[in-house]
């Protein structure tokens, strides 16, 4: 299982929210680039970055993201492939996605755009193979949009199947009721979505699309449960910052 530590950016700081609520933010570092470098030195192969300012409709923190990219690459050991940096948060247009790709981001995460303008995201997937990750932020099985503040009319399963058909590089599945609470990952829902997508890809002779679990991981036992359920990737953050376990301990299990 691919382990992806997360860095959420708000006002230039690395923070974590509870259930996506800005008022419940905890600041963990005023040097997010240093966190990125630390994760790379420890062995992370991908880092998940969320620009919360952008998600809340404010100016995106592009300069800070570039600094994190530079720090991560500088921390890469000689002869090793650099860790991938994937970025999401407030990307409401195809041009915003293109701008991040031009800035050097390896993977770009889109959520609301995939619901509101699926043709644009399908085009981005075609133009940038292996780059576009579709976020499926679900509340009771229905996709939430606009920073989780509004429910759409599409189910998580429906969006997952559509995105797989577009050729998405991955599906980031978040149970928004668990995010930042360390109450355990949505193992059954994530595994069920992966099984559904695997069946679809096999039937249509498409390349497999990984479902990335997100939200709720609070212990090594939570990671073990995901591994046992054959989930292939997971994003987690607060558990690291609260020292529930270390990245070294997590990596040793995978």
User: Is-catalytic flag, 127?
Assistant: no
Furthest C-alpha separation in the chain:
48
- 130 and 136 in contact (C-beta within 8 Å)? no
Joined together, the tokens standing for residue 47 give 């880092």
How many helices (H) and strands (E) are present in the chain, helices listed first?
A: 11, 12
Alpha helix stretches (DSSP H) within 43-117: 52-55, 62-74, 94-102, 112-116
Helix (H/G/I), strand (E/B), else coil: 158: helix
Helix (H/G/I), strand (E/B), else coil: 153: strand
**Which among 8, 51, 175, 179 is annotated as catalytic?**
8
Of 99, 98, 103, which is closest to residue 85 (Cα–Cα)? 103
User: Is-catalytic flag, 117?
Assistant: no
**Which among 53, 106, 137, 175 is annotated as catalytic?**
137
How many CA atoms lie within 13 Å of 52's alpha carbon, on the beta-carbon side?
22
- 233 and 25 in contact (C-beta within 8 Å)? no
> For residues 219 and 130, what is the distance between their CA atoms, to the nearest angstrom?
30
User: Active-site positions?
Assistant: 8, 137
């Amino acid at each position: 299982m691919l382990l992806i530590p997360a860095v959420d950016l708000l006002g230039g700081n690395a923070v974590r929210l509870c259930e996506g609520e800005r008022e419940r933010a905890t600041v963990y570092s005023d040097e997010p680039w240093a966190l990125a470098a630390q994760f790379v030195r420890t062995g992370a192969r991908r880092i998940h970055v969320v620009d919360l300012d952008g998600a809340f409709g404010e100016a995106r923190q592009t300069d800070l993201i570039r600094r994190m990219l530079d720090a991560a690459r500088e921390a890469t050991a000689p002869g090793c492939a650099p860790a991938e940096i994937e970025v999401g948060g407030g990307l409401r247009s195809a041009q915003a996605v293109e701008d991040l790709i031009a800035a050097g981001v390896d993977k770009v995460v889109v959520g609301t755009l995939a619901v509101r303008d699926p043709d644009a995201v399908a085009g981005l997937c075609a133009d940038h193979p292996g780059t576009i990750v579709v976020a499926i932020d679900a509340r009771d099985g229905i996709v939430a949009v606009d920073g989780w503040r509004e429910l759409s009319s599409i189910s998580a399963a429906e969006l997952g199947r559509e995105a797989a058909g577009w050729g998405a590089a991955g599906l980031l599945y978040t149970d928004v009721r668990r995010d930042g609470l360390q109450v355990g990952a949505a193992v059954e829902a994530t595994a069920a979505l992966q099984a559904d997508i695997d069946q679809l890809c096999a039937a249509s002779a498409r390349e497999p699309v990984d479902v990335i679990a997100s939200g709720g991981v609070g212990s090594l036992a939570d990671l073990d449960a995901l591994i046992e359920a054959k989930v292939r990737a997971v994003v987690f953050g607060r558990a690291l910052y609260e020292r529930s376990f270390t990245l070294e301990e997590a990596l040793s299990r995978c």
